[in-house]
Amino acid sequence: MPSDAIRAGDAGWTRDTERFLNLLWSLASRDVKVRYKQSALGVLWAVLVPTAMMGVFTFVFARAGETWAMAGSAPYPLYAFVGLVAWTYFASALNGCVQSLTSNRTLVTKVYCPREAFPLSAVAASFVDFAVGCGVLAALIAWFNRSGAWMFAPGWRLTALPVLVMVQTTLTCGIGLALAAANLFWRDVRQAFSVVIQLGMFVSSVVVPLPAEGTAAAIVRAVNPIVTLMDGYRACLLGGEFPSPVRLAGMVLTAAGALVGGAWVFRRSSHRFAECV
C-alpha cells in the first residue's frame, strides 16, 4: 500500500536523522573534551581570550583618546566584547571546519557515516564556547548598568538576538562545509584561511567601526555580512534599538545561500573524500 510505503519512508528518515544527531553530538562532545583535556583552566579559556583582547584594545584606544567616541553611548569595553565574542565563535568554528575531515581521516575512509557531521560538529563545539562567552557578556552588561556608567534598557528588540545567532550559525555552517571540502583537495586552504581570518577581524567592525560612507571601507562594510551581524548584536544589546529589518532580511538570505552553496559543494565532492584524505 502507498500509505505503508510512506510510513516506512518516514520511519527510515527519522532513524537516519536520529543517528546523524547522535553522531554530531558524539563528535562535538569529543572535540570539546579534547580541546580542554589536561588544561587547568578548562572552558575558562573561552572567556579569557576575548577578555584579554578587550583589555588590550581598550587600553590602546584609551591612550588614543577615542575609546568612548567609537562606541557611541555604550562603554567601549562592552562594544569590543560583543564583537570579540561573536567573532571568536565565527573564527574558531571555521578553523575547526577546515581541519575536520583531515583530522578524522580514519573515520572518513573506513566508517560509513554522513561526512557533514565532521565540520558541523566543529561548529557545535565552538558554540559551547560562544555560550560561555555570552554568559560573561551578560555579567559585564549587569556590572556597567549597576555602576551607572551606562544604562541597559531591555525591551522587545532583544527578540532579534536568537535570529542573529541562528543566522550566524547558518552562515558559519555553510562556509565551513565548503572550506572542509576545499582543504581536503588543496591543503593550501588551511594556510590561506589562517591569514584571511586574522585580517578579517579588522574589516568586520569587531573592535573598530567601519565608516558608513565616503571611503573604500564603506564598500567593505556594505558587502561584508559579518558587519551586519556585529551591527545587529550591538543594536540589540547596546544601542537600544531593533536591527535594520532590511539588512537583517538580507543577512538571512545570505546565510541561507551560504548553507545551500556549502552543502552543494560538500556533497558534489564527497565521493572523492576517501582518496584525498
Could you report the per-residue pLDDT of 236-263, keeping only the tens digit for each?
888 777 888 888 899 999 999 999 999 9
- Any idea what DSSP says for residue 215? S
* Cell matching residue 212: 558608513
Report how far apart the first and last C-alpha atoms of the chain are (Å, whole number): 44
Supply 73's cell numbers.
Answer: 553611548
* Residue 182 CA neighbour count, 13 Å, CB half: 21
Cα–Cα distance for residue pair 173/175, rounded to 1 Å: 6
How high is the pLDDT of residue 1? 47
pLDDT at 47: 73
Cell of 96: 575547526
Nearest to 176 by CA among 195, 205, 197: 197
**181 in Cβ contact with 269 (< 8 Å):** yes
- Which amino acid, 97? C
205: left (phi over 0), alpha (psi -120 to 50) or beta: left
pTM: 0.85
For residue range 99-137, list pLDDT tens digits in order. 888 888 777 777 677 888 889 999 999 998 899 889 889
**Which residues neighbour 184 within 8 Å (Cβ) at sequence distance 6 or greater?**
101, 102, 269, 273, 276, 277
What is the rounded CA–CA span in Å between residue 168 and residue 252? Answer: 9
Q: What pLDDT score does 35 carry?
A: 72
Q: Among candidates 164, 178, 177, which has minimal Cα distance to 245?
A: 164
For residues 82 and 134, the answer to whether their CB atoms sit within 8 Å is no
> In whole angstroms, what is the distance from residue 120 CA to residue 122 CA?
5
Q: Where are the domains of the chain?
A: 2-276
pLDDT in tens, the chain (277 residues): 455 544 444 454 567 677 778 888 888 888 877 776 666 566 666 677 777 877 777 777 665 545 554 555 678 888 889 999 999 999 999 999 998 888 887 777 776 778 888 899 999 999 988 998 898 899 888 888 887 767 787 778 888 999 999 999 999 999 999 999 999 888 888 889 989 998 888 888 888 877 766 677 677 777 888 999 998 999 888 877 788 888 889 999 999 999 999 999 999 988 777 666 6
